[in-house]
């Protein structure tokens, strides 16, 4: 499986703007094939764009890593009740008090996405998502948000309203904004990330990432 996913898992870098997917005609151009980009200079957001062709540099190295949006399909398929979606809500992002493992100038706190579940569905969600370690895997924290420095009323970022309904508890997954924060903290001359909710979509199936099946 690792050979099949070369260039698309958490730890593979891409030394080009082009990714070859499972079918040659579905090649992706990282400069144009995302819905939106955020451009940072010296850790400061300077621009949003829908194409980065004009500022692409030949020595850029890109990284593609799994997204928790992917495992929501698996949760639904396994019958986990995503009540927050039925309420027209999305997950919220929080900066936790958990440190990442620093590597040189790259370091920061883990950013986590929170989704609310009834306890019965929370157990199912943990079992399902732990099968997909390259798509963030199992939650890093369950309930008691204050233990990881989170105030649920103060999200770092949200795609809309989110709340805990009666008899729900929060589950927190590691989020792809974590490496973005590390890039910003590194004070690089320039770095480019995807804009929130404008992730890279490939033709690789979620089932290709499953472990233990």
Catalogue all structural domains in the chain, each as residue range(s) with its CATH number: 13-64+187-209 (no CATH), 68-179 (3.30.2040.10)
Of 161, 162, 160, 157, whose CA–CA distance to 193 is shortest?
Answer: 157
Residue 84 pLDDT class (50, 70, 90 cuts): very high
Query: Does residue 199 surpass a pLDDT of 50?
Result: yes
Instruction: Return all residues near 140 (Cβ < 8 A) that are at least 6 apart.
Output: 98, 110, 112, 172, 173, 174
pTM: 0.84
Helix (H, G, I), strand (E, B), or coil: what is residue 38? strand
Per-residue pLDDT tens over the stretch 161-176: 788 999 999 999 999 8
CA pair distance 180, 208, nearest whole angstrom: 25
> Within the chain, where are the H helices?
68-77, 83-86, 119-129, 177-185
Q: Given this model, what pLDDT does residue 213 score?
A: 57
- For 30, half-sphere exposure in the C-beta direction (CA atoms, 13 angstrom radius) is 23
Of 54, 91, 79, whose CA–CA distance to 174 is shortest?
Answer: 91
């Amino acid at each position: 499986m690792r050979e099949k996913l070369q260039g698309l898992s958490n730890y593979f870098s891409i030394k080009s703007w082009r990714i070859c997917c499972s079918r040659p005609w579905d090649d992706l151009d990282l400069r144009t094939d995302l819905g939106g980009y955020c451009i940072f200079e010296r850790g400061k957001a300077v621009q949003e764009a829908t194409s980065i062709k004009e500022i692409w540099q030949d020595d850029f190295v890109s990284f593609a890593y799994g997204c928790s949006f992917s495992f929501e399909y698996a949760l639904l398929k396994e019958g986990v009740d995503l009540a927050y979606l039925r309420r027209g809500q999305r997950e919220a992002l929080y900066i936790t008090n958990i440190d990442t493992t620093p590597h040189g100038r790259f370091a920061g706190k883990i950013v986590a996405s929170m989704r609310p579940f009834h306890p019965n569905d929370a157990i199912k969600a943990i079992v399902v998502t732990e099968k997909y370690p390259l798509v963030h895997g199992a939650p890093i924290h369950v309930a008691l948000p204050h233990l990881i420095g989170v105030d649920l009323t103060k999200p770092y970022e949200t795609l809309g309203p989110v709340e805990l309904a009666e008899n729900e508890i929060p589950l927190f997954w590691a989020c792809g904004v974590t490496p973005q924060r590390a890039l910003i903290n590194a004070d690089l001359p320039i770095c480019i990330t995807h804009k929130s909710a404008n992730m890279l979509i490939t033709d690789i199936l979620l089932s290709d990432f499953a472990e233990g099946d």
